[in-house]
Structure 1
Amino acid sequence: MGAEQIRRWESGALAHAVSDPFGQGPLPWLRGSENYFDDTGQVVPWYADPTLARGSTGGGTRTADDVHRQIKGFISTGAAAPGEAIDFHITVDPPQQFTVDIYRIGHYGGDGAAKITTSPRLSGIVQPAPLTADRTVSCHHWWQSWRLQIPAYWSIGAYVAVLTTVDGYRSHIPFTVRDDHPADLLLVLPDITWQAYNLYPEDGRTGASLYHAWDEQGRLLGEEDAAVTVSFDRPYAGAGLPLHVGHAYDFIRWAERYGYDIAYADTRDLHAGRIDVGRYRGLVFPGHDEYWSVPMRRTVEAARDGGTSLVFLSANSMYWQVSLSPSPSGVPDRLLTCRKRRGPGRPVLWREVDRAEQQLLGIQYAGRVPDPHPLVVRNAEHWLWDATGAGEGDEIDGLVAGEADRYFPRTALPEHDNRILLAHSPYRDGEGATRHQETSLYRAPSGALVFASGTFAWSPALDRPGHVDTRIQRATANLLDRICKRG
């Protein structure tokens, strides 16, 4: 293994860079402006305390990597409720003390997050090497490092644990705090899709996702050689945050700024039947949400048919059909399996099992968008575009990006009382051919609204520096206000 290859792996962004259309890697809120450098010239996340950012050595905090595993960790549960506990499993090399700072994502006067608590100083150990079997990587045998008892008074929401060693290395673990109280909107964080993309460890040897693995020379292999099953019992690659996690955080910061009444859950909560969808006026899927199990789809279709609206703010939703199974120790829903296109048997694309995603979304995945293109407004007289200033045929720069959906005329539509396409945007695909993106809205017979943006760039347009668009902010508010019966 050459030094150049190892340096690439140590960046913690190799696999993420393969498929991140915004080029933000695993830390989507890091921007290249002077506002995000501390006084030592180190780039730091926007939420970090200046003293923490510099680290005790004064040399600046550095991101841990998957080769040296300076500090990496995961939690052995999914979402948890106030009053419950979350167990952290963390490896530290060389062994030394570390702390865990817990932040909650939100608006917080523009800060984007607030520190909620800090652990005591904890003793770090070098955990055993990950176990691998048929490209499935698992750390379920790691010792417990810390138990966080969630106080009853904590707010539900999206949280990030920031792990920092005494010598200044940092990694992250995202988690969700949920409860069962009714709310206007339920935000569903796509933890199943996050895990599908997780290449941990990005070490040029053993890491594998549903997309990639390594050969003996440390070269990155494609889907035909990737894992069929991946485990939730392992850290996320690189800095410890999932690919596209920023899309959910963009929506959360914006929605909490404007005071929407939001509950939180993970897609595994949908899968396991832990959610009473009748408690909510709408379900919001804020980020890339590509991998769906049969119970997830059944629950969401029942929500729509019962009058609960659905809001899909990304593209390529509900594309692959997956199954979840217990860990070796019997903990439910810790292994994610998707065969992709390998071997005989039942197909695993929803559209190939005669249940195309368009039958729920109103549109479906069309392909990648190599370079951002404008979103072209259609049906500008519709209430979604009210007070946005958008006119018929107006172009919203850069809003068709990453991946795109469109209406497929030969594919069945869902039952609807009315249906409209609110954007029709040409773009060039990887071969230079002209294709088009569409944004869809329909009203189900139950009265539920189902909105699909058809692009990766919608959530970033709500609150990500360099991507904000006031027209998209207003249109999204028009949609959510109608779902929540505001105004």
Structure 2
Amino acid sequence: MGALGIGAVAVAGYQLRGEAESADIQRPEASTGKNPVVDENTATGSQEWVAGHDGTVAANDKAAQIQGYASTTSAGPGESIDFHLWSHTAQACTVAIYRLGHYGGQGARHLVTSDPVDVEARTRPEADAATGLIACDWPVSWTLEIPETWVSGLHLAVFTSDDGFRSYTPFVIREPKRRSDVLMVIPFTTYQAYNMWPSDGRIGKNLYKGFTPDGKIGGNPERAFQVSFDRPYAHVGLPSWFEMDTSAVRWAEEAGYDVTYASSVDLHEGLLDASRYTAIIFSGHDEYWSKDMRDWAEEAVAAGTHLAFFGSNNIYFHIRVEASGDDRQSRVVTCYKQDEDPDPGAGGATERWRTIGKKHRQAEQGLLGVQYNGMPAQPVPLVVRESKHWFWAGTGLRDDDQIPDLIAVEADGFDDSMPRPENAEQTLLSESPYSDRMGRGRRIQNTSLCQDGAGTLVFVAGTFHWPLALSAPEHVNTQIQRATTNLMTKMLTGRSS
């Protein structure tokens, strides 16, 4: 599925749910005493950002009609973000900023549009011969000064050329000084790991593959060991599986949770105090983690902050997040995987977490309770277990009931040979058989909930389709909505400081 089709349809089609449903939702009361997200979502929404509106056409990598990237994955009120653009011909272009949310079913709100800025064709960089790194050095086209009044959220910069082409890049507005019930973390390190810009049949690479000399997509021999944030996202500019995150965002904001946002790079840089949040949601495909990110999450649990992973294949690869060639921090993601890492550093080699050290001591299951175990050949049902658990209350589900097509793309399961969370009681809420499309035979998917002695919860959905079931029109499932609401209610009950 292409990024444009999924991302655009997911937001543009959101009005199918209708405002009648929204009116019946009981807003959870914020323990912090204030919740600007509710007021923010009363603002007028807009779908004008979608390629096709006003006759615009989605840009592509080969022609590169209009593309750009941001100078950072996140910034706060009072800070600024630079946008670096190129166009296939010298012309005027605009940058419009939209905040994603519910907004009465519209899915986004227009905040500001730049004056026309002059953009020229730029030089497309070649990949570094040793690492495969592709990094642009395009000049700044426009700078966004973030108003103090803007509410934390997932945002899109929308680039539109004078000759009618359009592309995007996402970023987060954070509010690290504001205590909120929920922090939602957007997986920018994983976005970049899968970014194959430019997907032009020649130059593009990501941490999985690149192009062969005859223009076909290759594999490990062609892949990069380093990828840069200093480049657009491939195709129209929406990252791989961006729809998992936008669906979770719209669900949380429609429900009225007191939520602030951060990028995964913010966790790496230590910009956030986990104790300021009652629960932390990892909204999508969150596969690539540095040691600093994992340390931060483990410290959050130790301090009593709940974690909820709405996707699967979490914390799978260990990475380094490094400076650019001109010493701008956190602009490069490094992962050598099965190849020898020339500079492992204190955190160890950049390989699978479960292979670092002896006896699988760093396996992700030690924090999560489950871990990636395969790729379903086709979507299969989630098979319910422990239906009397509070998690499934109000869903009407019983053991062995099936939720159609919920297990898809990648799946997690419990592995008895791997570490498990210490001093924690684990409940496996599903037991879903599937056939692995990579030829690894029959596998079992598990949705997991762990609770330690202090009552702190770590939830892992264990499938890509869980966040889509929260609000994406073609995937919405009321039983998953109810179960996830039960989870959030449990996490947000009883803690006020």
When the two structures are superposed, what TM-score results if normalisation uses the length of structure 2? Answer: 0.87
SS in 2 for 1:304: helix
Which whole-Å CA distance do the structure 1 matches of 2:140 and 2:475 have between them?
Answer: 40
Residue 391 of structure 1 aligns with which residue?
398
Q: How far does residue 340 in structure 1 lie from its aligned partner after superposition? A: 1.1
Q: How far does residue 460 in structure 1 lie from its aligned partner after superposition? A: 0.1
Residue 11 of structure 1 aligns with which residue?
none
Which whole-Å CA distance do the structure 2 matches of 1:114 and 1:73 have between them?
Answer: 21
Which whole-Å CA distance do the structure 1 matches of 2:51 and 2:265 have between them?
Answer: 33
Counterpart amino acid of 2:140? Q
Residue 49 of structure 1 aligns with which residue?
48
- The answer to whether 1:203 aligns with 2:200 is yes
SS in 2 for 1:318: coil
Residue 374 of structure 1 aligns with which residue?
381
- The answer to whether 1:325 aligns with 2:322 is yes
Q: How far does residue 467 in structure 1 lie from its aligned partner after superposition? A: 0.3
Which whole-Å CA distance do the structure 1 matches of 2:156 and 2:315 have between them?
Answer: 26
Indicate if the aligned counterparts of 1:27 and 1:239 stay in contact, CA closer than 8 A.
no
- The answer to whether 1:164 aligns with 2:167 is no
Counterpart amino acid of 1:304? V
Which whole-Å CA distance do the structure 1 matches of 2:105 and 2:12 have between them?
Answer: 17
Counterpart amino acid of 2:48? D
Counterpart amino acid of 1:227? A
Indicate if the aligned counterparts of 1:224 and 1:342 stay in contact, CA closer than 8 A.
no
Q: How far does residue 170 in structure 1 lie from its aligned partner after superposition? A: 0.4
Counterpart amino acid of 1:224? P
Q: Could you say if the C-alpha distance between residues 79 and 34 of structure 1 is closer, same or farther in structure 2, counting changes exceeding 3 Å? A: closer
Structure 1 stretch 346-355 or stretch 308-317: which is displaced more?
346-355
Of residues 307, 310, 327, the one that matches 2:304 is 307
Counterpart amino acid of 2:460? A
Quote the RMSD (CA, aligned, Å): 2.1
The Cα offsets for residues 408-458 of structure 1, whole Å up to 9 and x where unpaired, read as 011121113421100000111123832210000011233210000111110
Of residues 169, 172, 176, the one that matches 1:176 is 172
Q: Could you say if the C-alpha distance between residues 355 and 379 of structure 1 is closer, same or farther in structure 2, counting changes exceeding 3 Å? A: same
5 Å-filtered alignment, 1:55-204, equals 55=54, 60-134=55-129, 135-139=132-136, 141-180=137-176, 181-204=178-201
Counterpart amino acid of 2:473? P
Which whole-Å CA distance do the structure 2 matches of 1:241 and 1:312 have between them?
Answer: 21
Of residues 434, 437, 454, the one that matches 2:462 is 454
Residue 254 of structure 2 aligns with which residue?
257
Q: Which runs of 4+ in 1 moved over 3 A?
A: 24-27, 29-36, 50-55, 344-347
- The answer to whether 1:348 aligns with 2:351 is yes
5 Å-filtered alignment, 1:405-424, equals 405-424=412-431
Q: How far does residue 130 in structure 1 lie from its aligned partner after superposition? A: 2.0
Q: How far does residue 406 in structure 1 lie from its aligned partner after superposition? A: 0.4
Of residues 257, 278, 281, the one that matches 1:281 is 278
SS in 1 for 2:155: strand
Structure 1 stretch 222-231 or stretch 106-115: which is displaced more?
222-231
Which whole-Å CA distance do the structure 2 matches of 1:27 and 1:307 have between them?
Answer: 40
Task: Give unmatched runs, 5+ long, in structure 2.
Answer: 15-44, 343-348
- The answer to whether 1:428 aligns with 2:435 is yes
Residue 478 of structure 1 aligns with which residue?
486
Which whole-Å CA distance do the structure 2 matches of 1:249 and 1:33 have between them?
Answer: 8
Counterpart amino acid of 2:97? I
Q: Could you say if the C-alpha distance between residues 34 and 323 of structure 1 is closer, same or farther in structure 2, counting changes exceeding 3 Å? A: closer
SS in 1 for 2:169: strand
Q: Could you say if the C-alpha distance between residues 182 and 30 of structure 1 is closer, same or farther in structure 2, counting changes exceeding 3 Å? A: same
Task: Give unmatched runs, 5+ long, in structure 1.
Answer: 1-22, 37-45
Indicate if the aligned counterparts of 2:102 and 2:108 stay in contact, CA closer than 8 A.
yes
Of residues 300, 303, 313, the one that matches 1:316 is 313
Indicate if the aligned counterparts of 2:181 and 2:258 stay in contact, CA closer than 8 A.
yes
Q: Could you say if the C-alpha distance between residues 24 and 473 of structure 1 is closer, same or farther in structure 2, counting changes exceeding 3 Å? A: farther
Which whole-Å CA distance do the structure 2 matches of 1:173 and 1:74 have between them?
Answer: 6
SS in 1 for 2:144: strand
SS in 2 for 1:378: coil
Percent sequence identity is: 41
Indicate if the aligned counterparts of 1:74 and 1:234 stay in contact, CA closer than 8 A.
yes
Which whole-Å CA distance do the structure 1 matches of 2:285 and 2:134 have between them?
Answer: 23
Indicate if the aligned counterparts of 2:166 and 2:236 stay in contact, CA closer than 8 A.
yes
Which whole-Å CA distance do the structure 1 matches of 2:13 and 2:420 have between them?
Answer: 47
Q: How far does residue 61 in structure 1 lie from its aligned partner after superposition? A: 1.6
When the two structures are superposed, what TM-score results if normalisation uses the length of structure 1? Answer: 0.89
- The answer to whether 1:244 aligns with 2:241 is yes
SS in 1 for 2:430: strand
Counterpart amino acid of 1:154? W
Q: Could you say if the C-alpha distance between residues 225 and 103 of structure 1 is closer, same or farther in structure 2, counting changes exceeding 3 Å? A: same
Q: How far does residue 52 in structure 1 lie from its aligned partner after superposition? A: 8.2
